[in-house]
C-alpha cells in the first residue's frame, strides 16, 4: 500500500506500534465471537464464529456493535 501525504511520516506513524487492541474470543448468549475490550465495561464485536446463519441476521450481533461486557478471570473476580 502506498500512502501519499504532505505530513511527515514520523507524525503520521507516531505510536503506531503501541496501538494494539486487546481481542478476546468469547461465547455470549450461545454465540461464539471475537470482541475488542473497551474501557468502562464495554466491548466491540469484531467478528462472529457462528455456523448459524440466523446469528448473522441479528442486528445486535453485527461487527462494530458496542455491547456491555464484564470480564471475569479464572477465580470469578472482575
Residue 1: its pLDDT value, please?
72
Does a structural domain hold residue 27? yes
Does a structural domain hold residue 78? no
Q: What are 17-56's pLDDT values in tens digits?
A: 777 788 999 999 899 999 999 988 899 999 999 999 999 9
Total number of domains in the chain: 1
| pTM listed for this prediction | 0.68
- Where in the sequence is the domain holding 50, given as residue range(s)? 20-68
Written as nine digits, the cell of 41 is: 465495561
Amino acid at each position: 500500500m502506498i500512502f501519499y501525504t504532505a505530513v511527515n511520516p514520523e507524525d503520521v506513524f507516531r505510536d503506531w506500534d503501541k496501538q494494539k487492541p486487546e481481542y478476546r474470543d468469547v461465547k455470549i448468549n450461545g454465540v461464539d465471537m471475537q470482541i475488542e475490550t473497551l474501557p468502562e465495561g464495554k466491548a466491540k464485536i469484531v467478528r462472529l464464529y457462528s455456523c448459524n446463519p440466523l446469528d448473522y441476521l441479528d442486528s445486535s450481533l453485527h461487527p462494530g456493535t458496542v455491547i456491555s461486557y464484564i470480564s471475569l478471570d479464572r477465580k470469578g473476580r472482575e
